[in-house]
Amino acid sequence: MNTQDINRRIRLIMDLRNKGITDTAVLGAMERVPRDKFVPSSVRDQAWEDMALPIGRGQTISQPYVVASMTAALKISDMDKILEIGTGCGYQTAVLARLCRRVYTIERHKPLLNRAEKKFEELKIRNVTAIAADGMKGWPKINGIDQAPFDKIIVTAAAREKPPQALIDQLKPGGMMIIPVGPSGDQMLKLYKKESDEAYSARDVFPVRFVPLLPDIASDDEAA
C-alpha cells in the first residue's frame, strides 16, 4: 500500500470517529480490512471514501459509515457465530470475520460469491463459510448438519415489511439481528433482539437505502 492509500485509510477512520462511531474494535477491523481490494478497478480510487460504490449485478458495497454502524450495533464478541445475508463483494464479511469466531454468509448472485471467495482466499480469511442460496430461508442444513441458531444475524438487503420468519427462528434467544426494513425510498435500519423463543423487541437505528431482499438464487441474466 502506498502512502496516499495509507493516508486515505486513516482519513476514513477519523471521519467515522467524527460521525459518532466509537467502538474501537469495529474501527480497528475496518482499518485493517483493505476496502480497495473488494471494489472494481473502475472505482478503486474512491474505495476509501465514505460512500457506497457499485460492484456489479445491480449491487453495491455499502457506505463505510453504514457498515460500521451495523457492525457496532450487534456488539460482537470473539465467540459469536454470525449469519450474514448478502455477501456481496465480501467486504462486510471480512470486517465481521475480524471480530467474531465464525461467519456463515449467503449470497444469491453466484458471480459475486465467487469473487468474494477469491478475496477471502487471497487475504487468508479462514473463518468464513460462504454459499449461494436463498437468504430469506436462513442457513440450510448441509450434510445433515444444522449451524443454527446464530448469536447475531446481519442482513444487507431490505425486507419489505418485516424480517423473514426463518431468520428470526435461526436467532438464539438473547441474540440480535440488524436488517433494513421498508419499501424503496422509505427504509429504516432496525435492530431486533430475541427476548425468548416467542418474543422479540425492535428499535429503529436510522434511515437507509438498500437493494431489496429477494428470494431464490439469481438467474444468470438478472441484473438487479
Vertex 55: Cα angle to 204 and 87 (nearest 5):
55
How many C-beta atoms surround the C-beta of residue 122 within 10 A? 10
Could you list the beta-strand ranges (E) of 123-186.
Answer: 128-132, 150-155, 171-181
Query: Of how many residues is the chain composed?
Result: 224
The three three-digit cell numbers of residue 89, written as one number = 463483494
**Active-site residue, from 41, 42, 62, 77:** 62
Between CA 181 and CA 212 the distance in angstroms is 9
Give the residues across from 207 on adjacent strands: 188
The three three-digit cell numbers of residue 45, written as one number = 480510487
C-alpha to C-alpha distances, 197 to 13, 49, 141, 173, 216, nearest whole angstrom? 38, 41, 20, 6, 27
Between CA 130 and CA 64 the distance in angstroms is 22
Between CA 187 and CA 182 the distance in angstroms is 4
Active-site residue, 62 included: yes
Q: What is the DSSP string of 56-99?
A: ETTEEEPPHHHHHHHHHHTT--TT-EEEEE--TTSHHHHHHHTT
Between CA 121 and CA 139 the distance in angstroms is 22
Which residues are catalytically annotated? 62
